[in-house]
Chain A
Amino acid sequence: MLRYVGRRVAGLALVLLIVLTLVFFMLRAAPGGPVDAYLGMNPTPEKRAEVEHRFGLDQPIWVQYAKFLGNLASGDLGNSLFSDRPVSAIIGERLPVTLELSLAAFLFWVVVGLAAGALAARRRDSFVDGLVRVGSVVALSIPSFWLALVLVVVFGLYIKGVLPSSGWVPFTEDPWENLRGVVLPAFALGLGSGAVIARTLRASMIETTRADYVSFARAMGMPERRVLRRITLRNAIIPTATVIGLMLGVFVSGTVLVENVFNIPGIGQTIVGAFRQHDYPLAIACTLITATVFLVANLVVDLLYFVLNPRIRAGFLNGTAR
Chain B
Amino acid sequence: MINHNMSTFDRRRFLTMTGVLTAGALALAACGTDDSATGGAAKEGKKVETITFGVVSISDYMNPLTNTSKRVHWITDPVVESLYTYDASLKSIPLLADGEPEISDDGLTWTIKLKQGVTFHNGDPLTADDVVASLTFVSNPKSTSDWTTFFAYYVKSAEAVDKQTVKITLTTPFGVLRSHLTNLPIVHKAFVERTDTTMGTGPFKVDKVAQGRQVTLSRNDAYHGTKPELKGVVFEAIPDPATRLVNLREGKIHIMTDVSPESVALLKQDSQITVHEVDAPSDIITYFVANKAPFDDVKVRQALAYAMDRKGVRDIVYAGTAKIAQGPVGPAVEGHDSSLQIYGEAPDYAKAKALLAEAGVSSLEFTLMVTSDAVMKNVGQVLAEGWKQAGITCTLEVLDFSPWVKNWASGKYQMAMTGFESGFGGGRTAVTVLGPMSSKNPLNFGYKNDEVDKLLGEAWATTDDAARVEACKKINGILANDAIMIPPVYPRLVVAQRKEISPLDEKLMGVSRVSLPPVHSV
Chain A residues whose CB sits within 8 angstroms of the CB of B400 once the complex forms: 32, 276
Chain B residues whose CB sits within 8 angstroms of the CB of A261 once the complex forms: 240, 242-243
Residue interface bits A149-168, CB-to-B below 8 A is 1, else 0? 10011001111111011110
Contact A277–B402 (Cβ < 8 Å):
yes
CB proximity of A268 to chain B, nearest CB, Å: 11
Chain A residues whose CB sits within 8 angstroms of the CB of B404 once the complex forms: 32
Choose, from A34-42, A67-75, A232-240, the stretch at the interface: A34-42
Chain B residues whose CB sits within 8 angstroms of the CB of A47 once the complex forms: 141-144, 148
Contact B239–A50 (Cβ < 8 Å):
no
A36 to B406: give the CA distance in the assembly, Å. Answer: 6
Given A160-B32, A166-B247, do A33 and B402 touch, yes or no (CB 8 Å)? Answer: yes
Contact B420–A41 (Cβ < 8 Å):
yes
Given A166-B246, A262-B243, A278-B402, do A158 and B146 touch, yes or no (CB 8 Å)? Answer: no
Given A31-B407, A37-B405, A160-B29, do A51 and B144 touch, yes or no (CB 8 Å)? Answer: yes
A93 to B469: give the CA distance in the assembly, Å. Answer: 50
Chain B residues whose CB sits within 8 angstroms of the CB of A167 once the complex forms: 236, 247, 252
* The residue from A37, A153, A158 contacting B402, defined by CB atoms under 8 A apart: A37
Nearest-CB residue, chain A, relative to B253: A167
Choose, from B33-41, B183-191, B313-321, B505-513, the stretch at the interface: B33-41
Contact A263–B212 (Cβ < 8 Å):
no
A82 within 8 A of B: yes
Contact B211–A83 (Cβ < 8 Å):
yes
Chain A residues whose CB sits within 8 angstroms of the CB of B28 once the complex forms: 157-158
B403 within 8 A of A: yes
* The residue from B239, B247, B406, B420 contacting A156, defined by CB atoms under 8 A apart: B247
Residue interface bits A248-286, CB-to-B below 8 A is 1, else 0? 000000000000111101000100010011100000000
Nearest-CB residue, chain A, relative to B242: A149
Which of under 10, 10 to 19, 20 to 34, or 35 or more describes the interface residues of B?
35 or more
Chain A residues whose CB sits within 8 angstroms of the CB of B442 once the complex forms: 44-45
CB proximity of B409 to chain A, nearest CB, Å: 5
B470 within 8 A of A: no
Contact A39–B39 (Cβ < 8 Å):
no
B221 within 8 A of A: no
Contact B144–A84 (Cβ < 8 Å):
no
Contact B240–A276 (Cβ < 8 Å):
no
Contact B238–A165 (Cβ < 8 Å):
no
CB proximity of A170 to chain B, nearest CB, Å: 10
Chain A residues whose CB sits within 8 angstroms of the CB of B250 once the complex forms: 156-157, 160, 165
Chain A residues whose CB sits within 8 angstroms of the CB of B402 once the complex forms: 32-34, 36-37, 276-278
B149 within 8 A of A: yes
Chain A residues whose CB sits within 8 angstroms of the CB of B40 once the complex forms: 164
Chain A residues whose CB sits within 8 angstroms of the CB of B25 once the complex forms: 157-158
CB proximity of A202 to chain B, nearest CB, Å: 35
* The residue from A33, A83, A157, A162 contacting B246, defined by CB atoms under 8 A apart: A157
Contact A152–B242 (Cβ < 8 Å):
yes
B61 within 8 A of A: yes
Residue interface bits B394-420, CB-to-A below 8 A is 1, else 0? 000001111111110100000000001
Chain A residues whose CB sits within 8 angstroms of the CB of B29 once the complex forms: 157-158, 160
* The residue from B32, B142, B213, B242 contacting A265, defined by CB atoms under 8 A apart: B213
CB proximity of B214 to chain A, nearest CB, Å: 8
Chain A residues whose CB sits within 8 angstroms of the CB of B36 once the complex forms: 157, 160
Chain A, range 51-82, C-beta contacts under 8 Å to B = 51, 54, 80, 82
Nearest-CB residue, chain A, relative to B40: A164
CB proximity of B328 to chain A, nearest CB, Å: 14
Given A83-B61, A278-B402, do A263 and B246 touch, yes or no (CB 8 Å)? Answer: no
A161 to B35: give the CA distance in the assembly, Å. Answer: 12
A136 to B51: give the CA distance in the assembly, Å. Answer: 44
Residue interface bits B175-202, CB-to-A below 8 A is 1, else 0? 0000000000000000000011000000
A130 within 8 A of B: no
Residue of B40, B144, B149 with highest tally of chain A CB at under 10 A: B144
Chain A residues whose CB sits within 8 angstroms of the CB of B482 once the complex forms: none
Contact B249–A156 (Cβ < 8 Å):
yes
Nearest-CB residue, chain B, relative to A149: B242
A30 to B404: give the CA distance in the assembly, Å. Answer: 12
A311 within 8 A of B: no
Chain A residues whose CB sits within 8 angstroms of the CB of B211 once the complex forms: 83, 85, 90
B60 within 8 A of A: yes
Chain A residues whose CB sits within 8 angstroms of the CB of B462 once the complex forms: none
Residue interface bits B442-464, CB-to-A below 8 A is 1, else 0? 11000000000000000000000
Contact B33–A82 (Cβ < 8 Å):
no
Given A42-B146, A82-B61, A157-B25, do A166 and B243 touch, yes or no (CB 8 Å)? Answer: yes
Nearest-CB residue, chain B, relative to A90: B211
CB proximity of B426 to chain A, nearest CB, Å: 12
A248 to B486: give the CA distance in the assembly, Å. Answer: 50
Contact A84–B195 (Cβ < 8 Å):
yes
A174 within 8 A of B: no
Given A39-B144, A43-B409, A50-B144, do A152 and B60 touch, yes or no (CB 8 Å)? Answer: no
Interface pairs (18), CB distance under 8 Å: A32-B400, A32-B403, A37-B401, A40-B69, A50-B143, A50-B144, A83-B212, A149-B240, A152-B243, A156-B243, A160-B250, A161-B32, A165-B246, A166-B252, A167-B247, A167-B252, A260-B239, A263-B239
Known: A31-B403, A160-B33, A261-B242. 17 other contacts (CB 8 A): A32-B399, A32-B402, A33-B402, A36-B406, A38-B144, A40-B405, A44-B141, A45-B442, A82-B61, A149-B240, A157-B25, A157-B29, A160-B36, A167-B236, A260-B239, A263-B243, A278-B402
* Residues of chain B whose beta carbon lies under 8 Å from any beta carbon of chain A: 25, 28-29, 32-34, 36, 39-40, 60-61, 69, 141-144, 146, 148-149, 195-196, 210-213, 236-240, 242-243, 246-247, 249-250, 252, 399-407, 409, 420, 442-443
Top 4 A-B residue pairs of the complex, sorted by shortest distance between their CB atoms: A32-B403, A32-B402, A83-B60, A156-B246
